[in-house]
Structure 1
Amino acid sequence: MDELQHRKIYVLVHDVVILLVMVVLVGSSCVKGGGGGEEEDRILELPGQPKVSFQQFSGYVTVNKVAGRALFYWLTEASQNSLRKPLVIWLNGGPGCSSVAYGASEEIGPFRVNRTASGLYINKFSWNTVANLLFLETPAGVGFSYTNRSSDLHDTGDRRTAKDSLEFVVQWLERFPRYKNRELYITGESYAGHYVPQLAREIMTYNTNNNKNPINLKGIMVGNAVTDNYYDNLGTVTYWWSHAMISDQTYRQLISTCDFHRQKESDECESLYSYAMDQEFGNIDQYNIYAPPCNNSDGSAATSRRSMRLPHRPHHPAVRQLSGYDPCTEKYAEIYYNRPDVQKALHANTTGIPYKWTACSEVLNRNWNDTDVSVLPIYRELMANGIRVWVFSGDVDSVVPVTATRYALAQLKVATKIPWYPWYVKNQVGGWTEVYEGLTFATVRGAGHEVPLFKPRAALQLFKSFLSGKPLPKS
């Protein structure tokens, strides 16, 4: 090789190195200053947090300046190659329950709160191993999200939640411009069975009016999701009976007495629910009927079942009984996120919210003013527009059980592409699945209401298959 060739190679290598340095510098400037305020939202380190390689951001986005409504978020970027991974929004339901308390801290987030609430430890099955996770506390009044107009807490519902969440997404993407063209997926569980498709529909409408800068929505996935008033209620009572939680007589009385189409049941029907739960259920965790409940020191159940409601209406948060590997994880979260040093690290509660941070807001839950009778029409709209739709069910949840979801989805009357089959994870049956035209349904065997809490490995496999758009593995 002559000297001229050597020189050409040297110049080429030199130019490549300069280009790489420029890319790094540009990327760094985007991280630090992009969209105005991104750097201010950077989390340096949470109290008691193990060292991690990924970046974290959290803070507020004002979604209504007149009312002073601001929604809190926590972004945990992908642990590897975050610039090439999709953005996934996670929403918890309730309504009134926190995505920080549940999704981030005991389901799909990278950390778990330890028993003493003194710190965090790593969740090796975190979904941020394959995606950038954006946990959103919505609506205002949930978790750290707030409003300066107190009447908002007594006058909210599905419609405002969807519109405020869209406003959040639009503004957040301005603050984090590197995510603007990224594939976006929206996921969640329980009453987020309303939030997720409703937000997706708002995004589709937004894209129609802003076709030059559309949000790159690709799909939605919901678990143990409130879907349709009538079929959710029918399926729930059927589940109770088929799993021997209630007597034949109570089942027949519920079926003959209750009008499952109604938003508010008759007193006679309500008394039947109360009887079933107080006299026939026993001290179980309705969110996983085969797991031990979190009990008080005297052995009594930590929460009351009396106010339990069927899923066509919001669930009263007083019935939250988390169980699984540790049935009291919710308690640890409430201690940890009320710590002033934790709130400071998260850039949370900057306005001095006049109430304690709680996993669920009873005020919002009691005053939920509008709810869609069914989200099945939204499913049809999303499917018609090529949006990927996945629905999954932990099969030992009695609150929004698998029977309810199957009854509801059957009303879509869509053609089957791949018939029912068992899917596998680590050579074990993870659950069962069926693929339809435009929609995939899957169960997760042995999982309760919060699927990733009870079956983290299976939930991660489910999520990976959803992102890839491929059916769950047959072996």
Structure 2
Amino acid sequence: MYKIILLISLSLTLFLAHSAPENAAITQLPGFNGTLPSKHYAGYVTIDANHGKKMYYYFVLSERNPSQDPVVLWLNGGPGCSSFDGFVYEHGPFNFEKTGGFPKLHLNPYTWTKVSNVIYLDSPAGVGMSYSENKTDYVTRDTQTALDSHKFLLEWFKLYPEFLSNPFFIAGESYAGVYVPTLSYEVVKGLDAGDKPTLNFKGYMVGNGVTDEVFDGNALVPFAHGMGLISDELYQEVTTECEGNYYEPTNSDCESKLAKVDGDVDGINIYDILEPCYHGDSSSKIRLGTPNLPASFRILGETERPLPVRTRMFGRAWPFRAPVKPGYVPSWPELLNSEENVPCTDDEVATIWLNNEAVRKAIHADPISVAGNWELCTDKIKYYSDAGSMIPYHKNLTARGYRALIFSGDHDMCVPFTGSQAWTRSLGYEVIDEWRKWLVDGQVSGFIQGYDKNLTFLTVKGSGHTVPEYKPKEALVFYSRWLEGKTI
């Protein structure tokens, strides 16, 4: 028995000692005083040596059992937003305290690394700490982003082969509602083709995710009415004039009614209707051209005429009419013609910390002179939407048995739960867990509906767009239960 215990202990020691490239280990972090509760690694994976295209990752081992716990890839959206948003503000290992000077870091009791190994990836190149020496790579699209992220994963697991047997999941929020299913599809396609190394892919999760132009585009009016933001009379008028088609008005009467809805919701925090805007009433500054409700994303090449284009920073859909390239997704700075931050958000702590050269050295990120300043969301990339609706991707993946959790903060007006609830229902899968409440500490924390094919839709009561930021305890509970295959 003693020999068995000794062998197990030796195996664990060897695992931890060889769990990553030695030069990727993080030994200290400016702003944090104490011992890290688990091992951290970070650095670059070169996915195109000829172009010098480098993808930056920050890898946090599970505090529980890193050799057995799932490996989860986390992606923030935009497109153009860094996954350090998730690390700093949502479910990373630290809570960042604003001090008026350099931030102080404290351990986060609700970090997702309590129960899983998490890879935070800045994607595509040009976002966050990821970059390319060939600036043509900053013109990209959905399909190329998925290919690049898949190449990253294959190369990353070559560096960390001891995690190949761990269950692997892909997760993200907002515009990662496109990133996650398209990347999952590439992973599965690679498995079918025999790509090496072989990833132990089990499923994916998407929070308040952009999905489909019809469902997303038609989501806001019912949401605004249900939340008491517009009157019964206006709701009836806009429903009648638009005939239920709010995302692409076909007549002037419809547009006129939508303009009234737009005016009523103007000034409300789009990411959480219960919260004030950090920058004040900045939402009105992004109304350009003909007022109109959010139009969902367009398919590349759909038409050559000027389009009402959805700006997708964080998934938000405030449209405008301008002569833009078909399928092109402008960034917030482009829309505002300024360097203003994403409306209603506070990125001060992350900006200070991640643009400190001592921090960049500690986390193995290239200096500002090489990789550029870190921004929560950048206008450095030019992004095109070419993947279309995500519904066929979800159908393909769930039909093959991969698990899917679609969760929504129910007070998000950016990508309202009404759209996610509708498109998950539209798949036509049998309901096997009828709409019910789910609890944390005996309190109702949201509602859930389970479908055949391992598809689950879940709401988080009182949460905004970034669920782990608004409801960290509840988020860790459903995340933990879902990863373990337990009833939520």
Per the shorter chain, which TM-score range? Answer: 0.7 to 0.9
User: What CA distance in whole angstroms lies between the structure 1 residues aligned with 2:126 and 2:258?
Assistant: 29
For 2:88 and 2:133, the matched residues in 1 are separated by 27
In the alignment, is the contact (CA less than 8 A) between 1:311 and 1:400 conserved in 2? no
* Structure 1 CA distance for aligned equivalents of residues 374 and 49 of structure 2: 23
Q: Secondary structure at the match of 1:159?
A: helix
| Aligned-partner residue type, residue 306 of structure 1 | R
- Identify if the C-alpha distance between structure 1 residues 213 and 176 changes in structure 2 by more than 3 Å, giving closer, same or farther: closer
**Match among 68, 92, 117 for residue 52 of structure 2:** 68
Q: Secondary structure in 1 aligned to 2:415?
A: coil
The 8 Å contact of residues 127 and 460 in structure 1, kept in 2 or not, is answered as yes
Measured after TM superposition, the shift of residue 69 of structure 1 is 1.4
Does residue 1:451 correspond to 2:467, yes or no? Answer: yes
Alpha-carbon shift at residue 215 of structure 1 (Å): 0.7
SS of 2:423's partner is: helix
Select 1:192's aligned residue among 155, 173, 176.
Answer: 176
Within a 5 Å distance, the mapping from 1:425-464 to structure 2 comes to 425-438=440-453, 439-464=455-480
> How many angstroms apart in 1 are the aligned matches of 2:388 and 2:82?
23
Q: Distance in 2 between matches of 1:81 and 1:29?
A: 14
Is 1:26 the counterpart of 2:14? The answer is: yes
Considering fraction of residues, name the structure with more helix.
Answer: 1
Residue in structure 2 matched with residue 239 of structure 1 by the alignment: 223
Of all paired residues, the percent bearing the same amino acid is 32
d(CA) in 2 for partners of 1:150, 1:273: 40
SS at match of 1:94: coil
Is the 2:56–2:129 Cα contact (8 Å) retained in structure 1? yes
How far apart, CA to CA, are the structure 1 residues paired with 2:176 and 2:256? 28
Q: Which amino acid aligns with 1:341?
A: A
Match of 1:6 in 2: none
How far residue 45 of structure 1 moved from its aligned partner, in angstroms, is: 1.1
Distance 1:24 1:241 in 2: 56
Question: For 1:275 and 1:120, how far apart are their aligned partners in 2?
Answer: 45
1:144–1:357: 8 Å Cα contact kept in structure 2? yes
1:283 aligns with 2:267: yes
Q: Given the superposition, is the C-alpha separation of residues 382 and 357 from structure 1 closer, same or farther in structure 2, using an over 3 Å criterion?
A: same
Letter in 2 for 1:459: A
Question: Which residue number in structure 1 is paired with residue 109 of structure 2?
Answer: 124
Tell me if 1:413 matches 2:413: no
Pick which of 160-169 and 245-254 moved more. Answer: 245-254
The one-character-per-residue Cα deviations of 1:71-93 (angstroms, maximum 9, x if unpaired) are 11101111122112110111000
Cα 1:269–1:144 change in 2 (3 A) is farther
Structure 2 partner of 1:9: none
Shift of 1:27: 2.7
C-alpha deviation, 1:236, in angstroms: 1.9
RMSD (Å) for aligned C-alpha atoms:
2.8
Separation (CA, whole Å) in 2 of partners of 1:251 and 1:160: 42
Name which of 345, 361, 365 aligns with 1:344. Answer: 361
Partner of 2:287: 306
User: What letter is aligned with 2:242?
Assistant: S
Distance change (3 Å), C-alpha of 1:453 and 1:81: same
1:256 aligns with 2:242: yes
What is the 5 A alignment of 1:98-117?
98-100=82-84, 102-116=85-99, 117=102
Secondary structure in 2 matching 1:352 = helix
Pick closer, same or farther for the CA change 1:24–1:221 going to 2, 3 Å. closer
Per the TM alignment, residue 261 of structure 1 is displaced from its structure 2 partner at its CA by 6.7
Hey, what does 1:135 align to over in structure 2?
120
Match of residue 90 from structure 1:
74
- Cα distance in 2, alignment partners of residues 147 and 271 from structure 1: 45
Aligned partner of 2:210 in structure 1 is: 226
Gap runs ≥5 in structure 1: 1-11
1:188-230 Cα shifts (integer Å, max 9, x gaps): 1111011111111101011111177421001101110111111
**8 Å CA contact retained: 2:234, 2:257:** no
In structure 2, distance between residues paired with 1:354 and 1:122: 28
Match of 1:368 in 2: 383
Runs of at least 5 residues in structure 2 that lack an aligned partner in the other structure? 298-309, 314-330, 334-340
Following TM superposition, by how much is the alpha carbon of 1:67 offset from its aligned partner in structure 2, in angstroms? 2.2
Is 1:334 aligned with 2:351? yes
Q: Supply the distance in 2 between the matched residues of 1:267 and 1:96 (Cα, whole angstroms).
A: 34
Question: Could you tell me which amino acid in structure 2 is paired with residue 338 of structure 1?
Answer: N
Q: SS at the partner of 1:73?
A: strand
- Residue of structure 2 in register with 1:3 after alignment: none
Q: What whole-Å deviation, never above 9, does each CA across 1:396-444 have from its counterpart, x for those lacking one?
A: 0001001111122122011110111111001110101111002011100
Tell me which residue corresponds to 2:404.
389
Q: Which amino acid aligns with 2:170?
A: I
AA aligned to 1:396 is: H
TM-score (norm 2): 0.83
Q: Secondary structure at the match of 2:14?
A: helix
How far apart, in 2, do the equivalents of 1:269 and 1:144 lie? 44
Cα deviation for residue 270 of structure 1 reads 8.5
Distance 1:466 1:351, change over 3 A: same
Greater mean deviation of Cα atoms: 300-309 or 461-470: 300-309
Does the CA-based 8 Å contact 1:162-1:202 persist in structure 2? Answer: yes
Q: Distance in 1 between matches of 2:24 and 2:196?
A: 28
- C-alpha contact (below 8 Å) 1:92/1:103 kept by paired residues: yes
SS at match of 1:464: helix
Note the C-alpha offset of 1:272. 7.7
Q: Equivalent residue of 2:407, what SS?
A: strand
Alignment check: 8 A CA contact 2:271 2:465 kept: yes
Deviating more after overlay: 265-274 vs 229-238: 265-274
TM-score (norm 1): 0.85
